[in-house]
Structure 1
């Protein structure tokens, strides 16, 4: 009679599977995601059985990802009971999305279990934790985000046979556009910091004068959908990318976010830097060339000074002397 695997053998197999896992690409297959979730559940059940003594309290220990984030633990305690419930439910929702090959936004998932999560933030934190646990991006788990950025210009998008013309009116940038087929061939992309600037350029006929351009705004600090959209366009079609931001600490931070990505990276986001991003517009170093009285400049507030110092450190790390020079000019 053939002897079956013991529970310990199954748990060891699941552990080996998780430890050898690498970050999944956006088009990761459904079977791999489902298998990882099932393996996590198996590890959890084993740790639950072992958690009878005070020395074995950890139920889930999320693996540290490759993006310099701290370890994430969920313990069998009153303090972490809610957090564990949120993450467990998020895992179940993602599992259902994968096996049914359906998609949902984070807002959809929240309202599906609003009585459990209580606030959107609890669901958002849980999704991030699951991304770290599975070493997979959020979109590869069929979880979409409601975009904040908008685009208009010489861009025709084919989304599953449905044609979307971005030249007639501004279109909200969504996760669906990251894998779409583009039918037009624009010449360059201009990203502006503010929605007011975006609307003003349209009113002034920017897209009529530059008919082969794409105009984008993230409405301030860009969200993930906007950055992924730009990453896809620039990497696939090798389009020049220009950014028009203010020359104050906030504008420079936004420009650096586009070019180098967020300060904290995770499996949820992935690599979204835009190395070909070129910051344009009137800079502080150029303003100094004009006869503008010094008293016309607003002094930096305490929080802005701290932000400037922090950005100087990051610019030096990236060896971006253009940004560093502009930040130093703000101190003068």
Structure 2
């Protein structure tokens, strides 16, 4: 099954999966459970989920609930958000993160993506600058004339085409930096048409899809400005290579391998007197885990190793202490002009 699976095929596959869930539930109550250990990571995902172990019960219940909701949405041609799924939970025992993980589980088993199930994240990504969204229903979202931040459409399948005169896209990690650059009139000061975007931390699927489209279809350079810490670099890797929890086949339209990292680079701590703080224990755990990733580019791996050696991190928000317009007038133009990116 691919990401373009027709709704009736998905409905049929969901019904088969629900029957499998129910058959195992009945057999467990009769004391003849087929799958004994959810902890065995060699088992297929579905067998891990429908294990009768008590530790697997919440995961089983959440996946069953999401399957039923997806089935109903597909039959009705309806849509919902992850937040709606959370508030509709009949047992009122799920946390938002459990719903998100359940959707990932269901999509992995069905080999599809959330939007094919009619499930979308609440609008998160922001965009501004030289771009217009022409929607399938005839509406237009015009960022050219809006001037400020626009929330990206939840359902990117509702976008017919993008229109842009931009020379590049700048993706920033945080909303605070995004807002600061707009207030400092980034579009006027850089003297060129650009698109400014943020996923407000870890990006949603719609943000990643639109960046992929701007890179692959519109052939725009994509530049990234993130904190020099393990979390900022992990977000960069999600944009470039996708989530490790999502299969490569499913995430191929959600990645941007050509995204270039402008900074902030940990090695710049050796050169500049940037304000910094010490890495936390949580930072170091994440750092050690990331260094084991086999797909990281050599340049980024070296930056991670430098971060580990220096035990210091830099937050973009703090660079205003150097100069209020340091990022806009000095740092970014210099990096782009001299191609000082990874």
Q: TM-score if structure 2 supplies the norm length?
A: 0.75
Deviation of residue 205 (structure 1)?
A: 1.4
Structure-1 residue corresponding to 2:203: 222
Contact 1:154 1:211 in 2 (8 A): no
Q: 1:155 aligns with which of 109, 113, 131?
A: 131
**Are 1:279 and 2:261 counterparts?**
yes
List per-residue Cα deviations over 1:185-231 (Å, max 9, x = no partner).
Answer: 43211001221211111112112244521100122232333222212
Contact 2:104 2:246 in 1 (8 A): no
- Once residues 68 and 14 of structure 2 are traced to their aligned partners in structure 1, the CA distance between those partners, rounded to angstroms, is 9
311 and 86 in structure 1: CA distance in 2 versus 1, 3 angstrom threshold: closer
44 and 300 in structure 1: CA distance in 2 versus 1, 3 angstrom threshold: closer
Structure-2 residue corresponding to 1:32: 9
Deviation of residue 104 (structure 1)?
A: 1.1
- Once residues 127 and 238 of structure 2 are traced to their aligned partners in structure 1, the CA distance between those partners, rounded to angstroms, is 18
Structure-1 residue corresponding to 2:340: none
Structure-1 residue corresponding to 2:110: 134
Deviation of residue 176 (structure 1)?
A: 1.9
265 and 44 in structure 1: CA distance in 2 versus 1, 3 angstrom threshold: closer
Structure-2 residue corresponding to 1:91: 67
Deviation of residue 53 (structure 1)?
A: 5.0
132 and 305 in structure 1: CA distance in 2 versus 1, 3 angstrom threshold: closer
Deviation of residue 304 (structure 1)?
A: 2.6
Q: TM-score if structure 1 supplies the norm length?
A: 0.77
Structure-2 residue corresponding to 1:5: none
- Once residues 263 and 220 of structure 2 are traced to their aligned partners in structure 1, the CA distance between those partners, rounded to angstroms, is 19
**Gap runs ≥5 in structure 1:** 1-21
Q: For 1:243, what is the secondary structure of its paired residue?
A: strand
Structure-2 residue corresponding to 1:307: 286
Deviates more, 1:122-131 or 1:43-52: 43-52
Q: For 1:54, what is the secondary structure of its paired residue?
A: coil
Q: For 1:246, what is the secondary structure of its paired residue?
A: coil
Which one has a bigger Cα radius of gyration? 1
246 and 43 in structure 1: CA distance in 2 versus 1, 3 angstrom threshold: closer
Q: For 1:102, what is the secondary structure of its paired residue?
A: coil
Counterparts of residues 140-289 of structure 1 (less than 5 Å): 140-159=116-135, 160-167=137-144, 168=146, 169-180=148-159, 181-208=161-188, 209-266=190-247, 270-271=251-252, 272-289=254-271
- Once residues 122 and 170 of structure 2 are traced to their aligned partners in structure 1, the CA distance between those partners, rounded to angstroms, is 22
How many residue pairs match? The answer is 299
**Gap runs ≥5 in structure 2:** 311-342
Task: State the Cα RMSD in Å.
Answer: 3.2
